[in-house]
Structure 1
Amino acid sequence: MTASRVEERPVLDIPVVYGPRQPLPLLAPHLVGESTGSFVNRLAHHNGMELHEFLDRVGQGKASEDPERVGKYPQYTEMYVNAEGLCYLAVLTDQPETFLQRTLPSLAEQHLLPGTGEAVWRWPWEPSDGHLVRCCSLCAQDRGVGEPAWLMSPDSWRVCPRHLRWTDDSRSDAPAFIELAELPETVPAHRQRQRLRRWFGPAGEELFADAFQIAVHWWTSMPDTTLWVQRARSAGLEARAMRVAPLVVYPEAAALALTMLRFEQAGERDLAGRARWLAGVQQLMDRWEVDFGAGKQPLLTWLERHSQAAVPALPHSPGRRRLTLALGHNRIATRTGSLDRRSCLPWQLGMAAPEL
């Protein structure tokens, strides 16, 4: 009897697939604008894991060996991944990569880490763009999120006009948020800022940025101004704490932005027109009991940079009013990012008064 012949099958070149192949059992609700680190932290907890246990599922990276320290990462800095890491997250969450990139800002193409071949994640000391701001807990609860979450924000604070709360990037939980019921001027000021952005697009936001930068200059030079001290006390914060500055100067910044808008719309940029505008702002400052003599210089700097009109170069968007800011402003300010970047005024919150 002859031995049966075994047919040899060709060896197929099938690539080995590494990483997760199916979603996690429990999927965490999404918060639009959330930081990647905050989201994966919640995703881990949702599935009965701590963050340090979960990270191995998202690829390779370096983290502290102290689980307690790793657990604090989402509050302190942002997590970044490369393209393969994004793919892993898409599998684990059962969501398309494009959806995750729309929902979590730090997964956008410009923030993905370089390198291919394996999934990689990093936790740098500081976010590469923006600030980690505590999400309003009531907004989070409406989305089914019951633990602290952090959003990526261009600025170091956020206003929730729905729940009348102010949150910021403070790493302290004392307090985690500020109730705005005791600060009745803040929400109308925030809505005025939103109207400027809605009416005039980036130009409206840049005007508010200029006004805010001037208010920051005033607060840095005159932190003991009575109305700002009173607001700080109402918020339960130290009057001279840097954390308090954006909150307490918000109403004056919004009011000043309106006067800047009128100046730009009037187009009277000669010496007489600038003098009239400055006199009008002085009246406001007198009403606020902000020392005009001590706060005049940033106003003069702004006038200098807005003394020459710019020729409109781009068509305005439908539904928005045309507003082209001055030539000196456009040479310095950017159209995106934090308020200090959108402004033509160079100083930053946290500078000492002599540096301004």
Structure 2
Amino acid sequence: MGLSGALPLQVALVAGESVASFIRRLAAANGLEAADVLTYVGGVRRGVDPQAVEVRLGAAALEELAVLAGRSVDQLRRALPTARQAASGSQVRTVVWSAGQGVVQQCAICSQVRRDAVPAWLVAVQEFDVCARHGRWLGCAGSRSQLSLAKLPEVVVAHERRRRFERRVGPYAQALLADAFQVAVYWWQCGQMAACGRWARREAVLGLTRRRLWAVPIVVYPEVVTLAEAMAVRERQRCYGRGFDGQTTRWHTGRWTRWVGERLGLSEELAAGGERALNLWLMAHRNSVPVVARLAGSLPPPGYRAQQMQPLAPHRRLAAGPWEQVSCLPWRLGEPMTSVTWEGGGFPA
């Protein structure tokens, strides 16, 4: 069918939505198929499943979609992450989500409030998200794709802290969150801290009688955010060639590790062996600035704790992706942890 100008019924923009999802919602609201919209914006007629593929639009096709949606191109780019970079070659092409990329369904309660005919699908770098407004976990675990967090309010609070942390630290926050998650995975898989009261309680709230891999991000999320914040404190000092206590000659990593245990409320668990994962992280993030250079260096500038951080080794080149791929720590959730080693051996001073 022929289309021209804005469609009669518009749909609300959802922050973080995929282009394929937005096209399908816009089409459904007007009694059309997604293929009708794609035909108009790019001359290519094809069906779209947002869970399987994303639609890449060239500049002209994006302008045509903006006309149909009754929006500006800038509005679409702000709301739809993958619309921010124009597709090369053809005006419209569909691409299969690669490993480590995909979508999660938007909070069902949010969709009900908008009275959408079809749900929105959000671009997800991680395989989960949290709707802080309605206290729901959004994941990719089949029937468990959405779970109420009413009995796990600390997970919602942690998510809100994570967002503030990301704004405060900048892009380097993803590397620190990735490393913090991997440390928590180490603890969970080795059993050193997985049986601690709070993790066992969260698993019980989720109705688990056995440990399940899909539940790990939910179970450890509050500790991941707290640990990432602690890592940022140490990294800010490392940026200026200083240790955790502000000194220039030694790092005093043991003092930082003890402080982490106090912040997490897991001092006994760390002292009983949980500090190994932190030591492996410290090894990868050791200070390479000679003592002479540290002593000659200037003090950190006023207000440096409120500034976004510059990437530090081993994360000089930042890339978006699942935490286990972004992290400098080598182990993987669900794989044996019996032979974790680090090139060079030993622990940092």
- Structure 2-normalised TM-score? 0.74
Code of the aligned partner of 2:121: W
Q: How does 1:85-164 map to 2 (within 5 A)?
A: 85-109=61-85, 112-116=86-90, 119-122=91-94, 124-127=95-98, 130-143=101-114, 145=116, 147-164=118-135
Shift of 1:327: 4.2
- Contiguous gaps of at least 5 residues in structure 2: 341-349
Q: Residue 15 of structure 2 corresponds to which residue in structure 1?
A: 32
**Structure 1 unaligned blocks of 5 or more:** 1-18, 64-69
Higher gyration radius (CA): 1
Structure-to-structure mapping, 1:41-56, within 5 angstroms:
41-52=24-35, 54-56=37-39
Paired AA for residue 246 in structure 1? P
Aligned partner letter, 1:151: L
What does residue 195 of structure 2 align with?
225
* Residue matched to 2:176: 207
2:51 to 69, 72, 75: 75
Instruction: Determine the C-alpha separation between the residues in 2 that align with 1:83 and 1:272.
Output: 51
Alignment counterpart, residue 287 of structure 1, candidates 266, 273, 279: 266
In the TM superposition, residue 84 of structure 1 has moved relative to its aligned partner by: 4.0
Determine helix, strand or coil for the equivalent of 1:79.
Answer: strand
Given residue 298 of structure 1, which amino acid in structure 2 is its aligned partner? A
Note the C-alpha offset of 1:75: 2.5
Q: Distance in 1 between matches of 2:268 and 2:106?
A: 34
174, 181, 191: which is aligned to 2:150? 181
CA deviation after TM superposition for structure 1 residue 245, in Å: 1.5
- Show the counterpart of 1:305: 284
Relative distance call for 1:92 and 1:324 in structure 2 (3 A) is: closer
What's the CA shift for 1:49? Answer: 2.8
Equivalent residues of 2:131, 2:137 under 8 A apart: yes
Query: 1:177, 1:284 → 2: CA distance?
Result: 30
CA-based RMSD of the aligned residues comes to: 3.9
| Change beyond 3 A, Cα 1:80–1:294 | farther
CA gap 1:107/1:285 in 2 versus in 1, 3 angstroms: closer
Percent of aligned pairs sharing the same letter: 33
How far did 1:74 drift? Answer: 1.4
Higher deviation after alignment, 295-304 or 142-151: 142-151
Query: Equivalent residue for 2:243?
Result: 268
| Corresponding pairs, count | 322
Question: Which residue number corresponds to residue 321 of structure 1?
Answer: 306
Q: Mark the CA change 1:149 to 1:324 in structure 2 (over 3 Å): closer, same or farther.
A: closer
| TM-aligned CA deviation for residue 274 of structure 1 | 1.1
Letter in 2 for 1:241: R
TM-score by length of 1: 0.73
The answer (yes or no) to whether the contact 1:31–1:140 under 8 Å persists in 2 is no
One-letter code aligned to 1:268: G
Task: Confirm or deny: 8 A CA contact 1:38 1:74 kept in the other structure.
Answer: yes
Q: Is the contact between residue 233 and residue 239 of structure 1 (CA under 8 Å) also seen in structure 2?
A: no
- The whole-number CA distance in structure 2 between the counterparts of 1:257 and 1:323 is 14
Given that 2:125 and 2:321 are in contact with CA atoms closer than 8 Å, whether structure 1 keeps it comes out as: yes
